[in-house]
Amino acid sequence: MCTQKQLTCPSLWVHARALHMAVFLIASVLVSPALFAAGNGELNIRDAHAWHDNDGWFLDAQYDIRLSSGAQEALENGVPLVFELRAQIVKTHKWFWDVVEFERTQRRQLQYHALSRSYLVKDIASGSQGVYSQLDDALFAVGLIDALHLTDATLDSKRQYVVRLRGSHDIESLPTPVRLLAYVSSEWDMNSQWYTWPLAR
């Protein structure tokens, strides 16, 4: 699902984080510590570039995904994984909070197809699909962003803007029973740091 909207502050995001934190606090008391011990997954933004033409601003990026053993096991047992890339154009202020001017999210689903022994990568918004016999190829395809349309609006030339990217694994898309474990286990903590660079015009 792709969304394009104007946000004055990241309130929804804060609420979601607070909810995640609350769930984590409760569940961490209940869940066995052994769950934390497995190999961790990783998600890093390798490269990103924003460019514009007459149609507006676009983004090319590549993020690397390394699945944890638990996530890989889940994938191979038929559990689909959804990865999300959040891209923001932020207006910076010297004496004030930064304001998110535009935000775009791209979600891709990775699923194992047992019959063909292949991995399916599907863009949830467009429905386009790719089939890969190798997991690495599938992960590469998931992380490859090619000309993602950020906005067709014209940016104020007098203001400073930065682009922020963050890739993450969407725990909420996991089957319900796994979700709680995913919140409290570092195995499922596949989120990148914010990748930020000034927007060059």
For the segment 151-180, give every residue that binds another protein (CB under 8 A): 172, 175-180
Residues 6+ apart with CB under 8 A from 142: 65, 83, 108, 110, 121
CB nearer to another protein: give 22 or 37: 22
31 binds another protein (CB under 8 A): yes
CB nearer to another protein: give 147 or 200: 147
Torsion angle of C-alpha atoms 89, 91, 92, 95, degrees rounded to 10? -150
Given the rule CB under 8 A, which of 1-9, 20-28, 54-62, 93-101 is the region that contacts another protein?
20-28
Helix (H, G, I), strand (E, B) or coil at 16: helix
63 binds another protein (CB under 8 A): no
Fill in the DSSP letter of residue 96.
Answer: S
CB nearer to another protein: give 11 or 77: 77
Given the rule CB under 8 A, which of 17-25, 57-65, 83-91, 148-156 is the region that contacts another protein?
17-25
Choosing from 13, 17, 49, 78, the residue that interacts with another protein (CB under 8 A) is: 78
d(CA 199, CA 162): 5
108 binds another protein (CB under 8 A): no
25 binds another protein (CB under 8 A): yes
Cα dist from 44 to 50, 62, 147, whole Å: 18, 9, 19
CB nearer to another protein: give 79 or 162: 79
- Residue 12 phi/psi, 5-degree rounding, is -65, -40
CB nearer to another protein: give 154 or 176: 176
Choosing from 14, 133, 149, 198, the residue that interacts with another protein (CB under 8 A) is: 133
Choosing from 17, 20, 49, 149, the residue that interacts with another protein (CB under 8 A) is: 20
198 binds another protein (CB under 8 A): no
Cα dist from 22 to 12, 27, 160, whole Å: 15, 9, 36
Q: Quote the distance between the C-alpha of residue 59 and its chain's center.
A: 14
- DSSP code string of 21-84: HHHHHHHHHHS-GGGGGSPPPEEEEEEEEEEEETTEEEEEEEEEEE--HHHHHHHHTT--EEEE
Q: Residue numbers of the site for another protein (CB under 8 A)?
A: 19-20, 22-23, 25-27, 30-31, 73-74, 77-79, 112-116, 118, 120, 122, 127-134, 137, 172, 175-181, 183
